Amino acid sequence: MLSVYSDAGEVNYGKIPVTGEMLFGLDFNRESGELRIDIQECKNIAAVDTKNKRSDPYVKAYLLPDKSRNGKRKTKIKKHTLSPVFNEVLKYNISESELYSRSLWLTVWHNDKFGRNDFLGEVLVQFENYKFTDNSPRWYPLQERVSSEDEGPPYKGDLVLSLSYVTPDSLSKNAVVKKKKKKSGPSKGELRVMVKEARNLTALHSNGSSNPFCKGYLLPDTAKVSKQKTNVIKKDCSPAWNQVFLFEDVGLDELPDKSLELTVWDHESLSSNDFLGGNRFNLGTGRCEGKEVDWMDARGEEILTWENIMENPNTWVDVTIALRATMGQNTVKK
């Protein structure tokens, strides 16, 4: 099985002392969703060839926690220099909400002809509170290698959704897809979840693919009849489902004590399904109706999305979110 990570030849950390600086600028276009990283130059980087006082540097970029092959960008290699001039723009297409949950990881490497490249330094930019008000390049000192524990959880791919809470009044006025007719109007609303697609899921099969499907519950209800599930998409690590999960008879005032659990699985015909990643959308309070529960554990973008749904009923809320690598012991496996 091929590794989803792309650092196979870049293993020589700590061999070369880190020196020097990198000049780059950052710009984000909110309308197009394009992040531009203007890598201009480095100066005074360490010499791998100490005799001739030179290196063959290049710059590599990731948006953590994504360290997949698809998430890697890199510049061209500059030969025999300690102050390389790149003047290259590395680009990512990403939503604004997703960008603020990521970190830019730039590393400088010496290109070794035998494939054992040497680490020459790094710069880490956290986007959580970053202000894209000035895109002019600035100098950043190159740092020693950050320990693997500080890089965050492993990247498991992204889930692309649209969610909406529909009020009883809106249900009464409009025809609802897949909803049974009733003699009187509904007393409660419903939660609609459009499961659009997943991206860059882990490949579990020898052919470099998986057979993914998405499953949903509105906790604390874990009854089998309340389970929602997409079709299985075979041999695809970026499946497009475009299916709607419908959770009926839910009051808006009940949402603070609810948790939307979405999990992605690899379908196995002859054995149990394998977990690929998931998310829980709730208020992250750790409590339901005053009692402590493990499944009210949302964080960051999960909480913001849930708050957005409650504050803007009858409106579709779009979200692209990195899948969690683990969901704790209380993931519903039915």
Give pLDDT, residue 159: 94
Enumerate the domain spans of the chain.
Answer: 10-151, 158-174+182-322
Distances (CA, A) of 152 to 117, 125, 195, 198, 201: 24, 14, 26, 20, 17
Q: Is the pLDDT of residue 326 over 80?
A: yes
What is the architecture, at CATH level 2, of domain 158-174+182-322?
Answer: Sandwich (2.60)
Domain pair 10-151 / 158-174+182-322, same fold: yes
Give pLDDT, residue 102: 87
Give pLDDT, residue 65: 82
Q: Give the tens place of pLDDT for each residue, 129-165.
A: 788 888 999 999 999 887 444 455 667 889 999 999 9
Q: Is the pLDDT of residue 1 over 50?
A: no
Give pLDDT, residue 61: 95
pTM summary value:
0.59
Q: What is the mean pLDDT of residues 216-241?
A: 92
Q: What is the mean pLDDT of residues 280-297?
A: 93
CATH topology of domain 10-151: Immunoglobulin-like (2.60.40)
Give pLDDT, residue 226: 84
Q: Give the tens place of pLDDT for each residue, 173-185.
A: 765 444 444 455 5
